[in-house]
Structures are given as C-alpha cells and as structure tokens.
Chains A and B, each alone.
Chain A
Amino acid sequence: MDMYEKLAILAEAAKYDASCSSSGSGRTSSEGRIGAALPAGCCHSFSADGRCISLLKVLMSNACVYDCKYCISRRSNDFPRATFTPRELAELTIEFYRRNYIEGLFLSSAVVGTPDWTMEHMIEALRILREEYGFAGYIHAKAIPGADPILTYRLGLLADRVSANIELPSEKSLVSLAPDKTKHSVLEPMGLIKTGIMENREDLVKYRHTPKFVPAGQSTQMIVGASPETDYHILHLTEGLYKKYGLKRVYYSAYIPLQEDALLPALDTRPPLLREHRLYQADWLLRFYGFEASEIIDPQKPMLHPEVDPKCSWAVSHLDEFPVEVNEADYEMLLRVPGIGVTGAKRIVRARRSQRLDFDMLKRLGIVLKRAKYFITCNGKTLQKIPETPEMMIYTLLSPNRMGGFTDYGMEQLSLFEPMLTGEDVRECLTGEF
C-alpha cells in the first residue's frame, strides 16, 4: 500500500477529532535540529469546512478492535484500513513541516491489537521524530485508554500536548455507545498526566535538566448531540475538568451521523453546529473571561440560547451592572461587555492610560459598537438610548438580522446558521472569542 493510499485513509479517519491547536508550548529551535513551537500557534491552512489546519492530523492506524457505535473506524464497519509504520509517519511529518504546510503532528490511533501495542507504535514514531530527526516542532498525541501507565508517561515525555478523550459527556452514554471503554479507562490517563505535569513542574524548579513532560498541557474532547446530555450538564462537566484536571482545553465535536443505530440520532439529523458554536463561546467565557458555569447557565433553562450568544445573554439578565463607563471600568468588566473582546479591551486599557476616550476614539480603536453601544458610556454619555427591560434589550439586539420563527435546536440549523453569520461571527468561529 503506498503513502497516498495510507494518508487518504488515515486522514479521513482522523478528521472527526475537533482539536487542531498548536499553541501553548514554546520549544525553542535550540532544542533540536529542525522546528520550533510558537507559544501562540499558527494555522497554515483552512479546510473547506473552515476549520484550521495547523497540525498533520492523522491516525497511526484505523484498524480498530473496538466497536464504539458513533465511530467510523469501529470494527464492524466496512471501511478501508491502513496503518503507518512509525518511520513513514515521521518522514511525512518532517517533509510537510519543511515546506511550511504544518506546525507539527497530531497523532491519534484506533486500538490495533491491544492498547499497549498501539501506544508503543505511536511512541516509536514520536521517538524517531524527536531523537533521529531532532524535531522540536509541536506534537500532540492521544493517550489510548487502557494502556499501561508507563506508556502514557513515555508518550508525555515526547509530546507537547497529550489528550485523553472523554468521548461522551456522561458515564451512562459511554457505557451504551462505547461498550469497550469505561469511565475509569478514559479518566485514568487524564489523572496520570495531571500528576506527571505537577511533578515535572517541581522537578524543573529543582533540577535544570529535567526533560519536559507535556509542556503544553492536556486537553480532551467530547461529542455533542449523540447522547441526551444538556448544555447545563456539559458546561458543569467542563468546568469540573478545568478545575480538577487542570486541562488546557475542552473541545466539543458536533455529532455527525454516519450510520444507522437505534441508540443514535437518525441519519438525516443535521450536525448541531450552532449548539457547538455556543458551547465554544461559553467555554471561552470560562477560560478567559472569568465566568463561572453557574453564571452562564441555570438548571431551569438547561440549553444555551440559540439566538443570543452566552455573553450577551448574561449581560441582558444583568442589566443592573450596565452601562459601564469605558474610561473607568476594569479590564475584567470590559470583557463582559457584549461586542468587546480581548483585543478591544486591551486597546481600550492601553489608550485610556494617556487620554480620556470618546466614542470617535473607540471607533478608531476598532471597537464595533453595534452591540456594545447598549452597554457602555463614554465620559458619562451614551450613544443610544438603552432599552430598560431584558425583553426589550433582546428584541433590540436581535431585530437587525432576526430570522422568523425558529425556536428549536437541531432543526434547520445550517440554513439558519449561515445567514446569521456576520464578519465578526466568522472570525470567532475558530477562536470562540467574541
């Protein structure tokens, strides 16, 4: 089987994993003979679905012995199979990297034979990259559930980021849809990596030459829409993962029906892309804007508002905290203003250090006032009469691009999603920033 064939099959099988980021590591080029990892990461291309291509995202093999119902690589599926040799994969990574196609490698795998055999195979590919090629670029590797802890540890010494996918948002769903996996086998590697990272941090302080262990931290992914959990459940789970395991990122992957199964949504179900988008926005609030999950969503209304982004929803139900004076509000509060993102808030803070800001200046700073104007004052002045009740506010915020009569998640989402996209939304669709 030639490389063309292998790559086509193993990319096809890998693409349902949402993660792509190459950020957070910062290896310097002096650590190797080729490659360096930028702390901020870099997207080298965007696929036709608009997702960032930063890493060569492939499976080591898709010849799985497991039979998870939602997965295209599951044993019982009739699908072309392929397996890279470690050397083939290392060489391909280097050749793509030299040409500036990618920032590094994202290596995952189906379970071939046993979890241990699979991990050893992956470790060998990473070893060739790091030791033989002297590769100091970014590597993200997936820990295989059920593998020996020693192997997870060795993987962590070679990779920048390791992730263990929790796959589904609850144990019940995991048991019914991924019969070969258990909550324990999924969470065990996560715990191991967390402990490894903490010990490594102490060692790095004590001994200068300690090798780095998972320097870019760990992440996980869960499938949204294959099982009945609510956004409320998912966001609290996410918050727990950030706190308990110190994760860097939680990825959500809208479930795409690929096969008929009584336990899964029907084949003609549209992937819940809007829901996924709202979850990323809410997740961004947790990670960067200092929100708690309980501020974003309450058990009475356990799904995020489809029409209004979660920051806007929060602001609308806390009108008593607005308007904020842009010349005085602290950075954290600026971030809570709908329409002001990280870039905008930083520019405001920088500019107002040397002069008081008025609305013209805000515009020059590139602050989009379309939504923000309802929530801010500049030198005590407002640009717009501020609606008094949350209902009026929602109506005001929505009216310019309101789409008639949709209340239901899951229905007609794609057609809704597209006309609702503004330039701003599109920029956000990757970063989750808004």
Chain B
Amino acid sequence: MSDGGILIFAYDGSFEGFLSAVFDAFLMKALPADIVVFGDMEPTLLKVHYVETDFEHARRVQIGIAKKLGGTVLNMVEKAFLFDGEGKENAIMHFIWKAFREGRSTGGKIGDEEVNRVFKMCVAVNNEAEHLRQFTRFSDSNGALIAVIHPKHFILPLIKTYFCNRIKNEHFLIFDAEHGAALIHTPEKTAIVPVESLEIPSDVEDKFYSGLWKSYYRHIAIASRYNPTCRRTHMPKRFWQYLPEVEEELESGFAPKFSKGTAAEIADDLRKDILRLKE
C-alpha cells in the first residue's frame, strides 16, 4: 500500500484508535511521519491515511505487546498515552516499533533517546496524577462531593482508585475541565464519562468547613520558619485555584500576616484572630 510518499495518519484520539493506527502501520510496514487527531488536523498536501478505529485490531495489538514485549512496555504505552502534548502518538509509535525490533529489554533502555522520550512522558503523567491526589479539593453540596480540576494530562484513570478507596461510600464527582471528562462515583458504581461543562451549584453550606480549614492552615505555620520558596516548589501556583487555604493570598497577592515573636505576642495575635472570626 505504501508507495513511498510521505504519509501521515489521522485518527479519532481514542486509545483504541491509536492501537488501530499501530496495527495499520505494521500492516503497511511503514512508520507514518506523524499521527494527528482528526479534529486538530491542518490542511496538508501530504498523503493522509485515515485510521478506522477497530476494536478487534486494537485488542490484537494490545495482546501482542503484552505477550511479546511484556508488562513494562505495555504499561509505558498505556501511561504515556495519557500524556497531553504534541508528538505523543508519534513518540509512542516509534517506541513500539523499536520494541518489536529489539525485544522486551526495550522498556529498560530509558537512557536511549527514543525510549527516554516515552519514559519522560510517563514520569510527567505520574507526577501530575500525584499532584491531583494531593491538591484536589471537594466541596460538599447537600451531601455530594464535587471537585473541579484542570490537569495538564488526562489523569482521571490514575487517580480513580485512590479516591474510590478513600471515600467509597460517598457520592462524588471530579470534573476534569481541561479534557472534558468526569469521574463519577456512587457507592454502587464508578465511571469516567465525557462531560462538556458543568454547572457547579453555588452552595453556602460548605463555608463552615472550608473556613475551618483556612483557619487551621493559617495557625499551623511557624512564622520564624517562613519559607515561600519551599512552599511554591512543593505546591506549584497553578494548583492554588483549587485550594481554599490559599484563596485569600491568591486574590490579594499578599502573604498572610503571622503572629511573630514571643509567646505573649503569639497569644495576643491568637486572641485577636479569635475575635475577628467571631464577627
């Protein structure tokens, strides 16, 4: 089928679609110059092969990778696919291609340029997932828990187990506004579903606990150890929009004032703060 001209693949953006593309490439015995999602495609003079998403093809590729290349390679492929960034499909395709040529050990060759690209994508995806395990915040709206996140990568599948384990008996929803999907959980079932937009019910009720949390956050910091650099490294600013505890700081742009100095001064500040809270 390949007649030597430069070829690019276009597919529907799903994982099965991508595996179908891998299937087609093997069939054509040719690596495409690029792989793009239908919707993102710019007009081109190059030859385009439109990949048809075929679940049977996808399954065969998946089983092939698992059997011939092992779990490490398959895991890397699945995880790297959650990466959101240009050139991801091409990098994974090259990695798979190389692995079929060089065998199981390919997954370990993380110092190698082609493998390293995919390895780095996996690390980035893992890090993002960890950040959202840390910094996702729920608000209680009539007993249901709701959170909105804007992750760099599509990490909902990776944080699913964590949240379902912690609060298995709750009704909760995590809306990934960046990728138009939501993790929805009830005590009976869990699903990740496409969601275009979400009306967040404005609820007054949760002010009580988020308020307590803000106050806790303020009082747990030690003034004479103030270290904004260290905080920003561990809690990057882009997550602050979710965090009630830094809401005021984010809005005002000012660091909070601390009770400083001696025990007597701290006690004084604390008394003032309590009076302020009472109002």
Pair B212/A7 contact, Cβ less than 8 Å:
yes
Kindly state whether residue B30 has any CB partner on chain A within 8 Å.
no
From A258, A273, A358, B225 is in contact (CB under 8 Å) with: A273
Is A43 in the interface zone, CB < 8 Å from B?
A: yes
A72 close to B112 (CB less than 8 A)? no
**Contact: B225 with A271, CB < 8 Å?**
yes
Asked if B140 CB lies within 8 Å of chain A CBs, one says: yes
Cβ B111 vs Cβ A12 within 8 A? no
Q: Are A47 and B217 in contact (CB under 8 A)?
A: yes
A44 touches B255 (CB 8 A): no
Which A residues lie within 8 Å of B235 (CB)? 45-46
Asked whether B267 lies within 8 Å of A78 as measured between CB atoms, the reply is yes
Q: How far is the CA of A34 from the CA of B172 in the complex (A)?
A: 13
Question: Which size bracket describes the interface of A in this complex?
Answer: 35 or more
A350 and B108 contacting across the interface, CB-CB below 8 Å:
yes
**Which residues between 291 and 346 of chain A lie within 8 Å of chain B, taking CB atoms?**
none
Q: How many A-B residue pairs have CB under 8 A?
A: 209
Q: Is the CB of B219 within 8 A of A15?
A: yes
Q: Which of B209, B220, B225, B258 contacts A99 (CB 8 A)?
A: B209
Tell which of A52-60, A151-159, A233-241 binds the partner.
A52-60
B263→A259 contact, CB < 8 A: yes
**Which residues from chain A contact B212 at a C-beta distance below 8 Å?**
3-4, 7, 92, 96
CB-based contact B169/A33 at 8 Å: yes
Residue B196 CB within 8 A of the other chain:
no
Verify if B145 is at the interface (C-beta below 8 Å from A). yes
Q: Is the CB of B266 within 8 A of A354?
A: no
**A100 interface hit (Cβ, 8 Å):** yes
| A11-B220, A48-B228 known; A100+B137 contact, CB < 8 A | yes
B residues 38-91 in Cβ contact with A at 8 Å: none
Task: Identify which of residues 88-138 in chain B touch chain A, using a CB-to-CB cut-off of 8 Å.
Answer: 105-106, 108-113, 116, 133-138
Compute how far the CA of A432 lies from the CA of B211 in the bound complex, rounded to whole angstroms: 32
Residues of B within 8 A of A53 (CB): 217, 220
Chosen A-B contacts, 18 in total, with CB atoms closer than 8 Å, are A3-B212, A34-B168, A34-B169, A35-B166, A36-B165, A43-B134, A44-B134, A47-B221, A48-B226, A48-B258, A49-B222, A95-B209, A98-B167, A258-B266, A259-B262, A259-B264, A364-B110, A364-B111
Question: Which residues of B does A touch, CB under 8 Å?
Answer: 105-106, 108-113, 116, 133-140, 145, 147, 162-163, 165-170, 209-213, 215-217, 219-231, 233-235, 243, 245, 255-256, 258-259, 262-264, 266-267, 270-271, 273-274, 277-278
Give 6 nearest A-B pairs by CB, closest first. Answer: A50-B230, A361-B111, A50-B227, A49-B225, A354-B105, A47-B221
